[in-house]
Structure 1
Amino acid sequence: MAIQTKNYSFVRNKLLNKEELALLDVREEDPHAQEHPLFAANLPLSRVEIDAYAKLPKKSVPIVTLDDGEGFAQLAAQRLITLGYTDVSIFEGGVQGWKAAGGELFKDVNVPSKSFGEYVESKRHTPSLSAQEVKQLIDAKENIVVVDVRRFDEYNTMSIPTGISVPGAELVLRLPELAPDPKTKVIVNCAGRTRSIIGTQSLINAGIPNEVNALRNGTIGWTLAGQELDKGQSRKFREVGEETKKDAAQRARSVADRAGVKRTSLNQIEAWKAQADRTTYFFDTRTPEEYEAGHLPGFRSVPGGQLVQETEMVAPVRGARIVLVDPSGGGVRANMPASWLAQMAWDVYVLDGVNNSDLMETGSWKAPLPILPSIESVDAKTVSTWLKTDSNTIAIDFSTHANYVKGHIPGCWYALRSQLGEAMKKIPQVDRYVITSSPCELSLLAAQELQALIKAEVLVLEGGNAAWIRAGLELEKGPSHLASLPLDRYKRPYEGTSVDPAAMQAYLDWEFGLVEQLGKDGTHHFWVL
C-alpha cells in the first residue's frame, strides 16, 4: 500500500499555526525516549489498535507516523488506515530526517510538560529549598507540612519523611485543612522537578496565605544529598468541609479566568461529541475512586495533576480541544489543571453546571476498541494442566515488561508484539502456543499475527492474565524467559529506590537544559501567567 509522506516543514507549519496534528512516534517507549521531536507523542506499534480510538477520536485528524528507519511507521500507518483513519502519512526520513532538516530532538518522556515546568520556573522564579534546608526544618520540628504531589503509588514507593500524599490537582482544595495556620511553611515535592514546580506555583497563583516552596530536585535531590527516604508510607489527604471547598473553588476559578480558560455546558459538549471537523478530549480530573462512583458518559478518568504532567499520553493531537470536569470538588480540580493547559497553549474548557443526577455511569473507564480478531480460546485451568504435563505447549505473554516482572504464568515467555518475528527465533518450536496479555485484547492481535508466521496451533488464554489470577493459579516473578528486550518501558531516573546517582544527576542536568531547547525548537506557544 503506497502511503503519502510528509516533511519537516509540513509538521512545523501545523504546529506554528496551532492546527490539529497527531505526530505519532510508533517505536516502543525506550527508543522514543532516547530522542524524538518535542510534540511527537508515543503510540507504540504494539498498541495501535488498543489505543487509537481513545487517543485519536476524530477519524479525519491529520496523522503523521514516525520511526527511526525500522519500518514501524509504515506498519502503523497501514493499521490506522484499516481502523478507518482517512488522513494518514509517514514522516519522511524518520527521526534522522527531522534532525537533518534542522529539527530539535528531545530526550526522555513527557517532554512537553517537563520543559513547560522549567519554562515556568525560569519566568516566575518559583521559590524552592534545598534537600539539606528541608531536612533541617524537619529535624528541628519546625511548623511545616510536606506535600507529595505524585501519584499515590509513587509516593508509597518512596517519600520524604513526614510527607503526605496530595496528588497535584488536589493541592488547592486540600491544603487549607492540612495547613490551616497561615504561618505553616508548605514544602511541595515530586520525584524530580516538574510537578513540584507546578504544584508550588499553583498554590502561589491561587493566593494561598502560607509561604510555599518546592523541594529543589525532589526525591532525586534528597537522595543525592545522602539523606534517607521513607518507604511504604500511606498518609493521604482527607475530605474537606464545605467552607474550605467554597473558598478553594473561588481561588481556582479566579486563576482559570486569568489564564483565559473558557467555560462550557452539557448542551455544548453533546454537539462537540458529534463534531466531525474538530478533535475534543473529555477528561474527568477527580480521583479514580470518585470517578468510579459516578461520572458523565463519554468522559475519561485522568486525575488533573497527571494530566498536566503527561498530557500527550492521553491527548496526542496537538491543537485539539480539551474539556475538563470536576463535579464534586467545586471545580477546583478542573480549573487548576485547565489554567496550566491554557498556558501550554491548549484550547481548554471547564464544564460547569453538572449535577449529581448527571453522573449516570459508574465503574472504571473502558477504552473504545475496534472489532478484534476471533481466535480460539482456552480456560486458565486447562492451560495450567498443559504447561505442567505437555512439553509441546508454551505460553507467551505480550503484557508490558513491568507487568510481566510483577507476576506471570510460570515458564511463560515475554515478547513484544512489535518484535514478534525476532522473538520467535528465541522461543522453542512446539506444537501449541497459548497467548496471554494484560489487557487481554492485546493477545487476540498478537495471536492473529503469530498464526500467520507459524504452522503450530495458536490459542489465547480466555480473559488473559486477569483470568489466571482469578483462578487462583500460581505466578512466577522476575525477568525470566525474555524473548524481546524490554523496550516498552524507559527506565526513568527518578523511579524506584535503586537508581545510580550519576543517572539522577544527568537527569537533573538534562532538565536544566530544556528551556534552551524550547527556544531552539520554537513551536511550543507556551506562556506564563
Structure 2
Amino acid sequence: MTLETEFRTRAFEDVRRALLERREIALLDVREEDPHARSHPLFAANLPLSKLELEVPLRLPRRSVPIVVLDDGEGLAQRAALRFTELGYTDVALLAGGVRGWAAAGGELFQDVNAPSKAFGELVESERHTPALDAQEVQALLASDANMVVFDARRFDEYQTMNIPGSISVPGAELVLRAQQLAPDPTTHIIVNCAGRTRSIIGTQSLINAGVPNPVTALRNGTIGWTLAGLELAHGSTRRFSPATDGAVRVAAAAAARAVADRAEVGRTTRDEARRWADEAVRTIYRFDVRTPHEYESSHVPGFRSAPGGQLVQETDMFAPVRGARVILADSDGVRANMTASWLAQMNVEVYVIDGLTPADFTEEGVAPPARNAVTPPASDEISPAELSALLQSPGTVVLDFTASANYVKQHIPGAWWTLRAQLADALPKLPPAQRYVVTCWTSALARFAAPELAELTGKPVQVLTGGTSAWLAAGLPLETGETQLASPRIDRYRRPYEGTDNAREAMNAYLEWEYGLVAQLSRDGTHGFHVI
C-alpha cells in the first residue's frame, strides 16, 4: 500500500448514529495533543500518529474494531489509516471532511483534553447542585482553625507540584474508602479540591452519593480558583492517606459503594467470565485494576492493567478510546471498583465489576506485561552511548531526539535536535548537513520506528542509540537543557492553563469560562447518553 491508497469515508451522520446506538467505534484524532485540544468532536480520542505503534496495542486491543480517523486537513489521517491497515486493523475509514467536515455537517466541536469527562462533571454539578465554597471561604475556615480537612483528589505527583496548604493527597477513587478514617468525627467538614473543577465535583459527589455523614463541599475551581483569588499554594507537600484501613471501615465503605453502583445499574461479572470475554475477541474488552499503582505492582489479577479509578473517570477517552466497548473493573475491597464503575455507567459506558475476588486471584506482580498484539519495531543498526560520544567529537553526525518535548527541555544529548516523528519531512530542512544520523528518545522505543522513515527521506545511514537518552545518562555522559535545537514546533502537549503560561490569569479565566459552557455544548451535541443518578 502507498499514501495514494484510497480509504472509504464515514460521514458525520453515520458516526453520530453509531455513538447513539452504542455500537463500537474508535473515533481517533491523530494530530498532536495541542491541535487536538483546540478543536475536536466530543468522543474523538487523541492518538497521535507520531506515537501510534506504541499506543495502539493497549488502546485498541481488537484489530477488527471499527476505526474512524480524523485530522484537520494536514494529511495525517490518510497516513494513519495506512499504518493501521499495515498493522492488521481491518475496518479503517476516514472521517468525511475531518474536523471542519464535522462542524459543517452540524457537529459540535469541543476544546481541551479529556472533554467527555470534564463535560460530564459539569453535568453532574448542574443536575445534583454539588455544594461548593470559593477560595476565600475555604481560606477563612482554615485561618479560623475550623474542624475541617482538605482532600486533594488528583494524582499524588500533581498534588506535590502544587496544593492547598495543609491538604492531604487522597486521589478520587480512594475518597470513599479513606474518608471515615481520615475524618472520623462526623462533624468534620470535608473539602475536596483538584486543579480545576471536574475531580473536585466528582470527588465531592462520590462522598455524598456514598452517604458519608460529614458535611462535604468542593473547592470551587480548585487550585485555579485559589490562585485567581491571590492566595498562595504550597509546593512539594507529601501528606497522603495511610494505606491501612480499619476492617469495619472497609466493610461499611464497601456496602455503601455497592449500593451506589446498583443505583447506577453497574453490571456484575466473575473472574472467569471476564477472562472468557477477553479471549472471545468479539467485543473490545478493557480490564482495569482501579487501586493505587503501588497496590497493583504488589499483586494484581492477570490480564488487568493499572488505571487508578479517579484518573480512569477523568481520562476515560485515554484509557478506553473505543466508544461502545465493554469495561471490566477489579479491586481488592469492593469500594474503588464500584465507585469508579458508578461514574462510568453514568457516562454511558458498559461497565462491569468483578465479584468474588479473593487474595488467591492476585497472582501477578510488577508492571503489566506488553500487550499481546504489541508492535515489533523494525530491525535497526545500533550504536552505543560511548560510540556516539566519540562520533560527536567531529562533524558529520546529527542526533534527532523523538522524546516528549518536555523531556527534551529537561535534559538531552548536547546538540540533539528535538523532532516530531509525524513532521519529520518538514523538520529536515532545518537540520545541518549530515553524513549520518543517530536517533534517540528516552528509551529509543519510539526512535526505532522513526529510524527507517528518516533513512528513506534522506538516503543517509541512520543508527539507533541503544538504550536511548537514559543509557547516555547512565553512562555519565554530559547533558544539556532548554529549547536548544527545535526542528519541530512544540505541539506534542497542550499546555494546561495552570502550568505557567505568560498570561496565566487570562488563560485560567478562559479555561473556567469554557468549563462553565460545557453543559450547553453537551445539549447541542446530543451524542453522549450521559445520565446522572
TM-score range, shorter chain: over 0.9
Contact 1:33-1:109 within 8 A present in 2 as well = yes
Q: Given residue 437 of structure 2, which amino acid in structure 1 is its aligned partner? A: Y
Secondary structure at the residue paired with 1:421? helix
Q: Given residue 311 of structure 1, which amino acid in structure 2 is its aligned partner? A: T
Q: 1:338 aligns with which of 336, 341, 361?
A: 341
Q: Within 5 Å, which residues of 2 pair with 1:20-419?
A: 20-239=24-243, 240-327=245-332, 330-368=333-371, 369-387=374-392, 389-419=393-423
Q: For residues 283-309 of structure 1, what are the alpha-carbon distances to aligned partners after superposition, in whole Å with 9 as ceiling and x for unaligned?
A: 111111111111122211111100000
Cα distance in 1 for residues equivalent to 2:108 and 2:524: 7
Secondary structure at the residue paired with 2:462? strand
Q: 1:12 aligns with which of 16, 20, 31?
A: 16
For structure 1, the 5+ residue unaligned runs are: none
Contact 1:283-1:324 within 8 A present in 2 as well = yes
Q: For residues 143-177 of structure 1, what are the alpha-carbon distances to aligned partners after superposition, in whole Å with 9 as ceiling and x for unaligned?
A: 11000001111110110011111111011111111
Cα distance in 1 for residues equivalent to 2:410 and 2:96: 39
Give the drift of 1:313: 0.5
Contact 1:158-1:497 within 8 A present in 2 as well = no
Moved more, 369-378 or 121-130: 369-378
Give the drift of 1:361: 2.0
Cα distance in 2 for residues equivalent to 1:218 and 1:163: 12
Q: 1:508 aligns with which of 505, 509, 512?
A: 512
Q: Within 5 Å, which residues of 2 pair with 1:374-523?
A: 374-387=379-392, 389-495=393-499, 500-523=504-527
Moved more, 189-198 or 431-440: 431-440
Same amino acid, percent of matched pairs: 59
| Alignment root-mean-square deviation, CA | 1.2
Moved more, 194-203 or 454-463: 454-463
Q: Given residue 6 of structure 1, which amino acid in structure 2 is its aligned partner? A: R
Contact 1:397-1:435 within 8 A present in 2 as well = yes
Using structure 1 for the length normalisation, give the TM-score: 0.98
Secondary structure at the residue paired with 1:526? coil
Moved more, 424-433 or 304-313: 424-433
Cα distance in 1 for residues equivalent to 2:177 and 2:269: 22
Cα distance in 1 for residues equivalent to 2:249 and 2:474: 42
Q: Given residue 353 of structure 1, which amino acid in structure 2 is its aligned partner? A: G
Moved more, 232-241 or 189-198: 232-241
> Size of the alignment, in residue pairs?
526
Q: Given residue 140 of structure 2, which amino acid in structure 1 is its aligned partner? A: Q
Cα distance in 1 for residues equivalent to 2:104 and 2:501: 39
Contact 1:259-1:339 within 8 A present in 2 as well = yes
Contact 1:51-1:367 within 8 A present in 2 as well = no
Give the drift of 1:439: 4.6
Q: For residues 395-442 of structure 1, what are the alpha-carbon distances to aligned partners after superposition, in whole Å with 9 as ceiling and x for unaligned?
A: 111011111122211221100001001111111121121111135221
Contact 2:150-2:167 within 8 A present in 1 as well = yes
Cα distance in 1 for residues equivalent to 2:421 and 2:515: 32
Using structure 2 for the length normalisation, give the TM-score: 0.97
Secondary structure at the residue paired with 2:190? strand
Q: Given residue 450 of structure 2, which amino acid in structure 1 is its aligned partner? A: A
Moved more, 434-443 or 116-125: 434-443
Cα distance in 2 for residues equivalent to 1:354 and 1:288: 19
Give the drift of 1:135: 0.2
Cα distance in 2 for residues equivalent to 1:392 and 1:337: 54
Q: For residues 377-407 of structure 1, what are the alpha-carbon distances to aligned partners after superposition, in whole Å with 9 as ceiling and x for unaligned?
A: 11122222322x1221121110111111222
Q: Given residue 78 of structure 1, which amino acid in structure 2 is its aligned partner? A: L
Cα distance in 2 for residues equivalent to 1:521 and 1:67: 19
Q: For residues 248-284 of structure 1, what are the alpha-carbon distances to aligned partners after superposition, in whole Å with 9 as ceiling and x for unaligned?
A: 1111111111111111111101211112321110111
Secondary structure at the residue paired with 1:313? helix
Secondary structure at the residue paired with 2:445? helix
Contact 1:249-1:332 within 8 A present in 2 as well = yes
Moved more, 243-252 or 352-361: 352-361
Give the drift of 1:31: 0.5
Q: Given residue 249 of structure 1, which amino acid in structure 2 is its aligned partner? A: A
Cα distance in 2 for residues equivalent to 1:173 and 1:404: 39
Secondary structure at the residue paired with 2:295? helix
Moved more, 460-469 or 110-119: 460-469
Residues 1:465 and 1:364: Cα distance change in structure 2 (over 3 Å): farther
Contact 2:501-2:507 within 8 A present in 1 as well = no
Moved more, 246-255 or 333-342: 246-255
Give the drift of 1:498: 7.0
Moved more, 306-315 or 286-295: 286-295
Secondary structure at the residue paired with 2:280? coil
Contact 1:41-1:316 within 8 A present in 2 as well = yes
For structure 2, the 5+ residue unaligned runs are: none
Q: Given residue 290 of structure 1, which amino acid in structure 2 is its aligned partner? A: E
